[in-house]
Structure 1
Amino acid sequence: MSKAEMCVLDGYCFTNLGEIKKNLTAAELYEEIVKNGEGKIADKGAVVTLTGRCTGRSPNDKFIVEEETTKADVNWGKGNVAISEEKFERLFGKLKAYMQGKNIYIQECYAGADEKSRLKVRVINDSAWQNLFARNMFITEKDESKLANFAADFTVIGCPGFHANPEDDGTNSEAFILLNFKKKLVIIGGTQYAGEIKKSIFTVMNYVLPKMGIMSMHCSANIGEDGNTALFFGLSGTGKTTLSTDPERALIGDDEHGWSDEGVFNIEGGCYAKVIKLSPVQEPDIYACTQKFGTILENVVMDEKRQIDLDSDLYTENTRASYPIDSLPNIVESGKGGHPNVVIFLTYDAFGVLPPVSKLTVPQAMYHFISGYTARVAGTEKGVTEPKAVFSTCFGEPFMVWHPSVYAKLLGDKIVKHGASCYLVNTGLTGGPYGVGKRFEIKYTRKIIKAILSGEINKSEFIADSVFGFGIPKTLGDIPTDVLHPVESWKDKDEYMEKLKSLAKGFKENFKKYEAVTSAEIIAGGPVI
């Protein structure tokens, strides 16, 4: 498309835009990236780019426009902060003025592999590399005739170089991510972190899918040769991507899914993997993607010979690779699977007290889903050695629009209807808390996952935990009992019980904010002290 004085996109008028470049291929976008000086090409073909000040999401800079169509639906609070329609319009006007004279890139794509519920998404960027990111992460349309008549359901405009004025615009910083459900528009500025593009649309899907009776989920999914589908919920660092990318099972998707009356479907068309210290031995398929044409490497160090260093955290520990899902060798091309027979909640327990695997009843599963527990240690802060419990409801609190009870009911109903078994898998520490204990060996975690997926774990005798109540297998194949039962690996058994009860108190304290709208049955699925 050539330069135009007036351009109307999705009903929004833009004036004096530069050249409009629409639905460019990856190769064409590569040329634009190099020409614009937005990134460099690594020796194996990936694009390497830096995101500057923002090397991760800016959760405090996300706002939802408060208006009559969604005001009563949104679970307003820390994760969903309101901004007025007037402030949105004023900032949008400034953004359109900023775009004058700039070349823009457009990708027209889909969010959702399910044709009945998918969103048509138009992504508009003033940088080619972010447009390539959108092409990687969403589902592309190969049919030119459909693209010719493409009418977007939602539009994302991302211009990292445009900064808000917090005092004038009502934002918290120069960065902003504003979602307007009434106008079906997202505007992003002040941050070059491309993950905001995909997560803004995931937030949109977390609003629209439940209205259709479809469960939206921050999880990965894969399927075995027997057709059995498994879901893996988990926060960053718990092993969600690693454990779901299994050479013996086909990957449906690694981060965002829906669960409809017909089964599970991927929301995305790509993967956005964390690649710091990525192992070519433990994660060969993901590692191979970092060496491929079409992959974007964010904040990865590259030397003068264009060789990348995945071990370096020079810019950030949150180094990322964005690549189309078909870059992986074993995927479900349709992006769809059947109803899950297994649901796995992953956690990294840095207190060293949770077992590596626990079987959950449905109320227990809902309790842990609403809690969304993991633990982190501020290892970069000198002298800080104590782990910190982190609770992110539904294992994705920043992206959930409705109250957590809405998602919990949807998930619980589907688990019951389709007879899915639920497990809590701890990939964290054993033998003691942080500084003493060691991480569960990956070989044991993989054996546990394999036993769950094959059904072999059902042959075990389960013992109820005295505090959390979930079932711990007495034995499981050749896995040592001191691995299955953490208390056996602690030298001081009394200290173990003290830490276990302390963690349980943290669960109960966190859950207080959900009790008013949560059934007594689910509340009873929590720990008992």
Structure 2
Amino acid sequence: MKKIEQLNALGIYPTKEYFWNLPVSKLVAQTLQKKQGVLTSTGALACNTGEFTGRSPKDKYIVKDNITENSVWWGDVNHPFSSEDFDRLYKRVTTFLSQREIYIKDVQAGSKKEYQLNVRVITETPWQSLFANNLFLRPSEKELETFEHEWLILAAPEFKADPEIDNTRQQNFTIINFKKKVILIGGSAYTGEIKKGIFTILNYILPHDKNVLSMHCSANIGEDGNTAVFFGLSGTGKTTLSADPSRALIGDDEHGWDSENVFNFEGGCYAKCVNLSYEKEPQIFSAVRFGTLLENVRFFEGSDIVDYDNVDLTENTRAAYPTHFIDNAITPSIGGAPKNIFFLTCDAFGVLPPISKLTVGQAMYHFISGYTAKVAGTEAGITEPQTTFSACFGEPFLPLHPTKYAELLGQKLKGDTINVWLINTGWSGGAYGVGERIKLRYTRAMITAALDGKLDKVDYLKHAVFGLQMPSECEGVPSHILNPKNTWDNAQKYDKTADKLAAQFNENFKIYHSFANDEIRSGGPKTNPKLEKA
């Protein structure tokens, strides 16, 4: 079928030019020509995403039909949208795109061929097409000759919905239609909507249809083939700790885990750039070169040098680049089943141990909880640490109920010898403002010890409130900090704070309790101010 016929079949009848699978150099050149972006001192392309500098979760919808009605986890995360409203809005968007220059990029999602999706991404701007090129897998020239898409993404940032006509909440929207295999994006140029739309699709298809666990995590692999997986919310150190020069990067954000492998969904990275420096993140810093798309960054006055510390516009500055821009990334992005899983949390209350080992039940419980804490100063109005829970460390992208993912994790943990560790990258010796942040070199030493099997040969104590197994010693780490209670000046105050945090865990878990099995329920904390030998 000719290209114009392929567009017509989608309801797009171009009246202006359309550009199909342009190379990176031409996408950059057209962006500069249209004055939609500028080159930085390192050759990266810097663009602004306009009104939206982040995702808009309240404006994300899933079409409710006979496929999704009884399978999707409807509620605050997944908002229903009618098939009739979708069809009408789809026609309005395709009519709009017919009047614009458009850019078509054919890409793939899923490094393991058995689960790979062919995706066609149609955008209004060349730099959005560059994003699709960088973030997803890039088919070979031969594959492109016979490429047929299974899923379609239409991204029209200049199209504004009319809530009165379209039944959206406001003018922007992201709508997923599993029956028609379409993601419709309008009113927002934030490219993260494209990335997370695909992640949401795979979060449905893989667990629901393939019994494959989809994960919001990073993953790396050692020279011995030992795969490690890192879960963690923003600010917990997921990218930093998985970017280990001595280990190869499988991927930094989204993965699947079947009976044999951990495999990356993407062909690129979408890294946060706030406070980026060569000293802190040499791999990411070096990846910001020609071909990379920078979003919403600011420059030092009168120069083309990016000021990564400038957050006047947003703290959510991003760099989108192909995975091979990271020196030690492996291709294809596939490793064996993990031997070690790390749940990263930044506990600003100073309660959780810097490292602890979890049972299967505790692993499922903490996976569902997805805990970290925000500290004072990170957001307006926050004056003391606040708990944050995000189911499975990726709640906004879960179309199925969180217990589905937790039970899949539990099944895999029972099938092999896999260690699950809870790593606290937050505070010790007291809460934020009193205690101190756990040193990064200690955290790295603990992870290295776990990966090298050195923690298999030490004694453990059980935390009486959370039931976590705490190692009595770890090479390169002062032993007294391994038991968090030892670092507090006032033991009673520690017990009180631990009980308070446990109560918040239990309160959060109430929404999952009736859906969870007994093993998951058993993994939660119990208030008890004593520590006892395991």
- Per the normalisation by structure 1, the TM-score is 0.96
1:296 equivalent in structure 2? 293
- Identify unmatched segments of 5+ residues in structure 1: none
Q: Distance in 1 between matches of 2:22 and 2:379?
A: 44
**Structure 1 ranges of 4+ moved more than 4 A:** 380-383
> Match for residue 348 of structure 1?
346
2:185 is equivalent to residue 157 of structure 1: no
1:31 is matched with: 29
Distance in 2 separating the partners of 1:9 and 1:456: 58
Per-residue CA deviation, residues 214-266 of structure 1 (Å, 9 max, x unaligned), is: 11110100000011000001111111111111100000000000011221111
Per the alignment, residue 164 of structure 2 pairs with 167
Moved more, 8-17 or 35-44: 8-17
Q: Pick which of 223-232 and 98-107 moved more.
A: 98-107
On the 8 A contact 1:352/1:430 being kept in 2, the answer is yes
Aligned partner of 1:70 in structure 2 is 68
Please tell me whether the aligned partners of residues 176 and 191 of structure 1 are also in contact (alpha carbons under 8 angstroms): yes
Match of 2:305 among 292, 296, 307: 307
Contact 2:445 2:476 in 1 (8 A): no
Cα deviation per residue 1:333-390 (whole Å; 9 max; x = unaligned)?
A: 1110001101111111111111111100111100100111111135155663211111
Classify the secondary structure of the residue corresponding to 1:204: helix
- 2:531 equivalent in structure 1: none
Q: Is the 8 A contact 1:385 1:435 kept in 2?
A: no
Distance 1:67 1:47 in 2: 41
Query: What does residue range 248-259 of structure 1 map to in structure 2 within 5 Å?
Result: 248-259=246-257
Q: Which residue of 2 aligns with 1:57?
A: 55
Asked if structure 2 preserves the Cα contact closer than 8 Å seen for 1:277 and 1:310, the reply is yes
Q: Which amino acid aligns with 2:383?
A: T
Aligned pairs for 1:469-480 (under 5 A) are 469-480=467-478
Equivalent position of 1:99 in the other structure: 97
Residue number among 253, 269, 272 corresponding to 1:271 in the alignment: 269
1:61–1:175 Cα contact (<8 Å) kept: yes
Q: What is the rounded CA distance, in whole Å, between the counterparts of 1:329 and 1:485 in structure 2?
A: 37
Residue type of the alignment partner of 1:44: T
Distance 1:214 1:525 in 2: 23
| Aligned-residue offset at 1:7 | 4.7
- 8 A Cα contact 1:7 1:13, kept in partner: no
Evaluate the alpha carbon distance shift between residue 165 and residue 383 of structure 1 in structure 2; reply closer, same or farther with a 3 A threshold: closer
Which secondary structure does the structure 1 equivalent of 2:50 belong to? coil
Q: Distance in 1 between matches of 2:378 and 2:112?
A: 42
**Aligned pair partner of 2:211 in 207, 210, 213:** 213
1:263-322 per-residue CA deviation (whole Å, 9 max, x = no partner) reads: 1111000001111112312311111112x1111111111243211111111211111111
Q: Alignment RMSD, CA only? A: 1.6
Residue 379 (str. 1) matches residue 389 (str. 2): no
Q: By how many angstroms is 1:66 displaced? A: 0.5
Aligned to 1:148: 145
Q: Identify the residue that residue 178 of structure 1 maps to in structure 2.
A: 175
Q: What secondary structure, in the 3-state scheme, does the structure 2 residue paired with 1:16 have?
A: coil
CA distance in 2 between partners of 1:406 and 1:52 (Å): 37
Query: Is 2:208 the counterpart of 1:204?
Result: no
**Structure 2: how far apart are the matches of 1:62 and 1:88?**
13
Matches within 5 A, 1:328-477: 328-377=326-375, 379=377, 384-477=382-475
State the AA in 2 paired with 1:300: V
Deviations, residues 105-152 of structure 1 (Å, cap 9, x unaligned)? 11111100000111111111011111100000000012x232121111
| Distance apart, 1:195 and its partner CA | 0.7
The Cα of 1:331 is off from its aligned counterpart by 1.1
In terms of mean alpha carbon deviation, does 299-308 or 464-473 score higher? 299-308
TM-score, normalised by the number of residues in structure 2: 0.96
Residue identity opposite 1:500 in structure 2: A
Q: Check if 1:226 corresponds to 2:241.
A: no
The offset of 1:396, in angstroms, is 0.4
Show the counterpart of 1:13. 11
- Greater shift in the superposed pair: 480-489 or 279-288: 480-489
Which secondary structure does the structure 2 equivalent of 1:15 belong to?
coil
- Distance between the aligned counterparts of 1:103 and 1:381, measured in 2? 39
- Which position in structure 2 is the counterpart of 1:120? 118
Residue correspondences, number: 525
The AA in structure 2 aligned to 1:113 is: S
Q: Aligned match of 1:519 in 517, 520, 527?
A: 517
8 A Cα contact 2:260 2:337, kept in partner = yes
Deviation, 1:413, is 1.0
1:52 positional shift: 1.9
AA partner of residue 465 (structure 2):
V
